[in-house]
Structure formats: structure tokens, C-alpha cells
Amino acid sequence: MKSVIPNLLTLANLAAGLFAIIALFDGNVVLAAYLLAASLVFDFLDGMVARALGVHSELGLQLDSLADLVSFGVAPGFMLYHLFLEVSVSGEPLPVFLPYLAFLIPIFSALRLAKFNIDSRQTDNFIGLPTPANTILIYSLAIWALKTENPTTEAILLHPFFLSFLTIASSLLLVAEIPLLSLKVKELSWKANKSRILLIAAIVLLFALLRFRAFAFVIPLYLLISIFFKPKSREIE
């Protein structure tokens, strides 16, 4: 029975992702963001509970990837698709094919998740942007764009060029051979965790200064600190 609990949490992640897609079809971006937060919590808990109970299975691994593909691949793809449609509704000239560019996100997310499952190098650190991090980036920019009262900010974030750049850049980051920090703590020392501590401190400062807008800067900050504190080659070989 113990092995069932992590799988139930994984399925809850999947369900939240499915409901987020439905919310986007209804145009309820804020509800979709709350459902994303639920997916992130369930995604974190399934692994933590599995480790705490000492249960690991091939079924759980595959189920986790399938759930992540929906919650952190398909759902953010539809979020970008929704943003492209917002641009077309506002009267901005938009090529017919451009909104479908958003579905590069689920395609590259599937590739990212498949690579992760067979890549033995990603035990201590990630190689390429994790799908949950990419989803946080896309959702945070979407909420900012749709809820800002600053017309300049809205014009920039909802410009077809910016949305196209965001789609292509984030898709490539998913599969890029770039070593990135994992927040897993294996030893309690400053030397082993200084990059993680600095990242968390910087995120806290961002939220103190920018409030909800800080979400849009968390992932770029994560990328910068990961590159600056690049894991040693022995950690990813």
C-alpha cells in the first residue's frame, strides 16, 4: 500500500494540470496559475513521500514523467497559445501560423523528460531547464502581461516578437546541454550549498522588492546563478 501513496500524488499533479488546461480554454488564467501551483506541490510531494517511505518503482518513474508532460508541457503550451490569441484579439497583425508555435513547448518538454529518464548524469544537478521551472517562467510572464496596469509593459510582454522569442528560447533551454543547480541538499555545509543559499536569498529579496512580479525573474536568476556556479564536470559526467 505504501507504494500507492506517491502514485496518487502524481495522479493529483496530472489532474491539476488537466484542470489548468480547461481553465485556459475558459479564459481563466488566474485559476490556471493556482492549479499550476497545486501541480508543483504535488510534484514535489510525490518524490519526497517516495523517498520517506523508501518506495521506488519503474511505474512511478514513468507515471511521473507522463504527469509532468501534461502539467509542465501541454499546459504551458496552451498558456502561450492563449497569449498569442490575446495579441490577435487586440488587433496586432499576426501570421496565421504563429499561435501554433506555442506547441513547441510540449514537444520539447516531452524530449526533455525522456532524456532525463535515461540520463545518469542528472543525479546531483540538472542538464537543461527542468519542465516545472520553464512552466513557472511562462505562467509568471503571462500573469504579469495580462494583469499589469502599465500599457508599456503589456505591449512588450504581449508583442508577437517577444512571445515568439520566449517560446523558442525556452524550448531550446529545455534540451540545452547546460548544467543547472538542483535544490537537493546532500550535506549541510556552506561550501556544498553556497549557490543554493545565494539563490534562495536572492529570491527572497526579489519578492520583498517586486512582490508577485518577482516570479518573472526567478528563473532567469536561477539560470544566471547556475551558470556562474557551474557544477564541476565530475558532478555531471
Q: Provide DSSP, 165-197.
A: HHHHHHHHHHH---EE------S--HHHHHHHH
* Ranges of the chain with pLDDT below 70: 89-93, 122-124, 183-193, 231-237
According to the model, what pLDDT value does residue 73 have?
Answer: 95
26 DSSP assignment: T
According to the model, what pLDDT value does residue 234 have?
Answer: 43
Nearest to 36 by CA among 109, 134, 176, 126: 134
Superfamily of domain 4-179: CDP-alcohol phosphotransferase transmembrane (TM) domain (1.20.120.1760)
According to the model, what pLDDT value does residue 112 have?
Answer: 93
CA dihedral 127, 56, 187, 219 (to 10 degrees): 40
According to the model, what pLDDT value does residue 188 have?
Answer: 57
According to the model, what pLDDT value does residue 187 have?
Answer: 58
According to the model, what pLDDT value does residue 236 have?
Answer: 42
The count of other CB atoms within 10 Å of the CB of residue 208 is 9
Torsion over CA: 168, 13, 184, 56 (sign): negative
Instruction: Provide the residue ranges of all domains of the chain, joining segments of one domain with +.
Output: 4-179
Whole-model pTM? 0.85
According to the model, what pLDDT value does residue 190 have?
Answer: 55
According to the model, what pLDDT value does residue 233 have?
Answer: 43
Amino acid residing at 205:
L
